[in-house]
Structures are given as structure tokens and as C-alpha cells.
Structure 1
Amino acid sequence: MFKALKVDHIGIAVKDLEQAKKFYTEVLGLQAMGEEVVEEQKVRVCFIPCGDSEVELLESTSPDGPIAKFIEKKGEGIQHVAFRVENLEAALATLKEQGIRMIDEKPRYGAGGASIAFVHPKATGSVLVELSERK
């Protein structure tokens, strides 16, 4: 059995990363902590820490990327909620034993050097849930 340790971050799909950052930095007074392109996910991300968690702004780098498709279908907004786990491999094994439908059967690279895996929204009441392990 595994346990989610905390909300690691909330992923927010945006059309324009620079414009979106302004609200969090200029209005809410938070500080953006750099940007990264994750080529395999066709996304440019910016993490904005807030207390013990972060906001992850996600801008697609390609019209056929998952974030572009999300925005096309649902518009800009919350795309996923990520929970920190201590041992992602063990968490995935437990979920598999429980018959939980997954998008990722094994960990993959996530922004910020995290190991991540997504649970299918059909298993979570339509919420895209990410599990994240950070070293």
C-alpha cells in the first residue's frame, strides 16, 4: 500500500505562458522558478511555488501536443492534479494490483527531473491524476 504525501502541483493548461505567468507573479505576488521544455510531451512548463505545493503552467510546443488538444477540447484551465509519492514504482504496482486503469504503466520523465505516471481519468471520476516522485 502506498500513500500520497501531498499535492505536489496543479497543472494548468495555457495558450500563452508569458501572459499566464503575469497573473501569478504580478497579481498573486508569487515567483516563477524557471522554465523547461519537455520534448517528449511537447510542452513548455513553468513552476510557480506556493507554500508546500506548486502551480505548473503548461504551454504546448506543438499543435498536436496533449496540452494543445486539451485546450482545443476544454479551453484553458486545470489540466491535472499531481500527488507526491515516496516510491512511484511501488505505487504503480499497488494500482495495478487494484485493477486501476493507468495511462502510464511505468514511470517516465517529468519536468523538474521528477519521475511521473498518470492515472486514467476514467479511474478517478474524470480528473487526470499524476503521481510524482522527486529525488
Structure 2
Amino acid sequence: MIKVLGVDHINFVVKDVEEGQRFWSDLLGIELRNTRDFPQIDMKACRSRERGEPVKESDITPCLVVYEPLTPDGPEARTFARRGEGVTTIVFSVENLKDAVEHFKARGIEPFLATKTSAFFRPRDTHGVRIMLMEGWGYRKGLDR
């Protein structure tokens, strides 16, 4: 059985992170900040929230991550070349990752990458959006209860 706690964060890939930052901040009225490089995951990104940043329980807004591929031939650049700009990943926080992964597998959906705390599922298996399951909260870890 799967128990989804909520949406932790949503990733958007854009051609230019500064332009994406201006566009999404203006459109949604959410401040995106701290643009920086993340070479380990091939991204230059800005976020609406930092990991562990205190969050009030009444704030149900998931973290938004806007990024551009950091390298022209890395994995994110290949995804961008195939799919263009848009939502790339929706990250769901789950109560128990092992149970959630088994729930997906029982429906014929295998993770393409799994760690102790997260699992990723290919867009071709999940109607066009890469899904990540995360045990507990990532960006909402500082939830003020």
C-alpha cells in the first residue's frame, strides 16, 4: 500500500535559468532564488525554498525548482533536447519508500534509479512525467508542526 504525504517539489527545465526565474516568479508570485550550479546532477538551478528551510504547516505550496542543463552533453541536456522546456519531475513524499516502490512494481512500473531514500520512474511509464518518490520530506523537512 502507498501513502503519499504530498508533493515535495516540482522541477521545470528551461533554456535559460535566469529567464525562467523571472517568468515563473512573475507568473506565480513565488520568489525563486539562490541560482547556482549543481554539477553532481548536471543543473544550474534556482529554487523557491532551500532544503530544511522552516515551513509552516499551512504553507501547502511545494518547492519549485527551475533549472537549465549545466553541460551540453550531460543527462539533463539529453532530456532537454528530446523534450524541450517544461515540467520534468514531480517529487512525491511517501510515508514508506519500500512499500511505495512495491506498489508501483505491482502495476508494472519499475524504478530506473533507486537509493535508500528515493526512487525515480521513467516518463514513458508514467504518462510523460518523471516521478520521484522520496521517503519523508526533502524541501519540506523543516515542516513546523
TM range (shorter): 0.7 to 0.9
Q: Gaps spanning 5+ residues in structure 1: where?
A: 108-114
DSSP-derived class of the 1:72 partner = helix
DSSP-derived class of the 2:9 partner = strand
Question: Partners of 1:89 and 1:62 in 2: how far apart?
Answer: 33
Q: Gaps spanning 5+ residues in structure 2: where?
A: 50-58
- The aligned counterpart of 1:110 is none
Calculate the TM-score normalised by the size of structure 2: 0.71
Q: CA deviation at 1:76?
A: 1.0
DSSP-derived class of the 1:5 partner = strand
Q: CA deviation at 1:121?
A: 2.5
Could you say which structure has the higher helix fraction?
1
Preserved CA contact (<8 Å) 2:87 2:129: no
Q: CA deviation at 1:24?
A: 2.2
Preserved CA contact (<8 Å) 1:58 1:67: no
Residue among 91, 98, 110 paired with 1:101? 110
**Structure with larger RCO (C-alpha < 8 A, sep 6+):** 2
Question: Partners of 2:4 and 2:118 in 1: how far apart?
Answer: 13
- The aligned counterpart of 1:126 is 128
Aligned residues: 128
Structure 1's consecutive aligned runs of 4 or more residues displaced over 6 angstroms after TM superposition are none
Q: CA deviation at 1:96?
A: 4.5
